[in-house]
Amino acid sequence: MENFKEPTSVTLGDNIMNQLNRKVNRRSFLMAASTAVAAGTLSIPTTQAASQGSSRKNGMKIKDLKIVVTTPGSNSGWNWIFVKIETDSGIYGWGEASLQEKDAGVIAELKSFKKFLIGQDPLRIEHIWTSLHRRVTWTGGPVTMSAISAIDLALWDIKGKAFGVPVYELLGGKVHDKIKMYANGWFKYGNSPEDFARAAKEVVGKGYKAMKLYPFPGVQVITPERLELGVARVQAVREAVGPHIEVGVDIRNALNIWGARRVAHKLEPMDIMFMEEPILYDNSTTLVELAREVRVPIAVGERLYTRWEFREILEKNAVDIIQPDICHAGGLSELKKIAAMAETYYVTLAPHNSNGPISTIASLHLDMMINNCFMQEYILRFEDRYNEMLTRPIEVIDGYCTPPEGPGWGVDLREDVIAKYPPKNYNPVSSGDVF
C-alpha cells in the first residue's frame, strides 16, 4: 500500500504568510492572526514539503470507480463487493458495498453513480453524499444506501491518505484506545447445547470476552420444543463461559411478538448481553411495546438505513443498543451522525458487521471516535480470509482490537489475492415458510 505521509501543518490565511515572509514584528503578527482566526482562514505549513503536499490535494479529481467482487469462502452464501475509487493524483481509496444476495442491484447502482462521480473533487465528501442521496428522484433502501456507503468509505480512505492521517483523526480523533469485540460465526460442531458449549469455550480460550449466538432458528410461530431447545443452548453457553462473559442472543427477526415475549421471559435469568432483532424491523410501535414489557436489553438496526430511519426508534425509546451497518446505512459519514443522535437518548452502538475486511476496518475507525461505542461485531470464520486479503492483519488481542496505524484505513486490499476467489452465483430468494 502506498503511504501518503505529509508533515503536520496548521491552517492559516495568506495574509499571515505574507507578514511572516516580511518578518513583521510580533505585535503585527498577532493582530493579523486574530483577524485570520475570526475569519476561519488559518495557515502556516511547518515545512516546505507541506506546501508541496497541498498542491497535490488541490484540484484532485476522481478519474475512475472500479467494482471488485469476490467470495468469502465455500461456507458462505453471499459475495463481498468492494469499490476502488481512483484519482488523477494517484491516490485511491477502498470502500465496501457487500449486501447479501443483492449483488446485481448494488453493482448496477454503483455503475450508475459512477457517471456522476467522474470529475468530482473526492475531498468534498458531504457534498457527494448529499448529491447521491437527495439529488435523485428515487433514493433510500438497502441497494442504493449500500452503494452510497461504499463510495463514502472509499472517499474517506482517499482523504486520510491525502492528508497523511488515519481516518478517525479527520473526525475528531480517538476517544478510545481499543475496542471490545464480540465474536460471531464461531459455531462449528453441531446444533446441540453441548456443541454450542464446546465451541463457546474455545472462543473464550482465544481471549474474547463477549459473543453472540443464534439459538432459535425457524419460523415466527415458535413451538414448545423449539423454545426448550433454544433456551437449553443459551443456558449451556452461559454455564460453559461463566458469569463474566457477555452473551448476546440474535433472534434474526424470527419470532412474532407472542413468541418473542416467551423467549425473553425464559432468557431473563441468564443475564444476556442483548436480545437482537426479536421481531421484524418494520413496525416500531410493536417493538416499543415489546421492549417495555420484557427485562432483557433489546438491540436492533442492521436493516435500518440513514438517520431518518433510526429517528423513530430513538424518539420512542424503543431499544437499548442500535446496530447500524457501515456498508448499508450510509457509510462512515452517516454512522457518525446516527451515533450522535443515539447519544442524546443514552443509547449505545454495537455496529453490525457480517461483511468483508473493509467493513471491519472502517467500523473500527468509527468505533474509535464515538463516545457511545458498546462493542464491535467480528466474524471469526472470516478472519483468515480477511487477513489474507489485507496488506496488514486485523489483530484481536485479549478480545480487543484497534485499526491498523497509517493514513486512510491504515491498510490496503491485495487485488492479487482477491483474484484467486472469483464470485459465486447464489439464489437470491430462499424457499420455505416464513410465518
Residue 167: other Cβ atoms inside 10 A = 28
Whole-number pLDDT of residue 27: 42
* Amino acid occupying residue 103: D
- Between CA 310 and CA 329 the distance in angstroms is 10
Amino acid at 321: I
Q: Where in the chain is the domain with CATH 3.30.390.10?
A: 62-165
**CA distance linking residue 207 with residue 220, whole number of Å:** 35
Q: Are 359 and 349 in contact (CB under 8 A)?
A: no
Distance between CA 213 and CA 88 in Å, rounded? 46
Residue 5 has a pLDDT of 41
> pTM value?
0.86
Whether 192 and 215 have beta carbons less than 8 Å apart is answered as no
Residue that the C-alpha cell 443498543 belongs to:
321
Residue type, 244: H
Q: Nearest-CA neighbor of 363 among 160, 86, 153? A: 153
What are the backbone angles phi and psi of residue 9, rounded to the nearest 5°? Answer: -135, 155
**pLDDT on residue 101:** 86
170-409 has CATH 3.40.50.2300 classification: no
Q: Cell 435469568 identifies what position?
A: 269
At 396 the pLDDT is 98
DSSP per-residue letters across 358-403: HHHHHHHHHHHT-TTB--EEEEGGGHHHHHHHBSS---EETTEE-P
pLDDT reported for residue 394: 97
CB-neighbour burial class of residue 241 (10 A; exposed 0-12, middle 13-18, buried 19+): buried
C-alpha cell of residue 240: 460453559
For the chain, give every residue range classified as CATH 3.20.20.120. 170-409
Closest CA to 294 of 309, 314, 312, 279: 279
Give the bridge partners for 85, in sequence order: 65, 93
The dotted CATH code for 62-165 is 3.30.390.10
Is 176 in contact with 348 (CB distance < 8 Å)?
no
Q: What is the pLDDT of residue 77?
A: 76
Please work out, in degrees rounded to the nearest 5, the angle formed at the alpha carbon of residue 53 by the alpha carbons of 49 and 55.
Answer: 120
pLDDT tens, per residue, the chain with 435 residues: 444 344 333 333 444 344 434 433 444 434 444 444 344 444 333 333 344 345 457 799 999 999 999 999 866 778 999 999 999 999 999 999 999 889 999 999 999 999 999 999 999 999 999 999 998 888 999 999 999 999 999 999 999 999 999 999 999 999 999 999 999 999 989 999 999 999 999 999 999 999 999 999 988 899 999 999 999 999 999 999 999 999 999 999 989 999 999 999 999 999 999 999 999 988 889 998 999 999 999 999 999 999 999 999 999 988 999 999 999 999 999 999 999 999 999 999 999 999 999 999 999 999 999 999 999 999 999 999 999 999 999 999 999 999 999 999 999 999 999 999 999 887 766 655 544
**In this predicted structure, what is the pLDDT of residue 49?**
36
Other C-beta atoms lying within 10 Å of the C-beta of residue 35: 13
| Helix/strand/coil for 180 | strand
Give how far Cα 59 sits from Cα of 117, 120, 156, 339, 408, Å.
15, 10, 17, 32, 19
pLDDT at 46: 35
Return the number of other C-beta atoms located less than 10 Å from residue 49's C-beta: 13
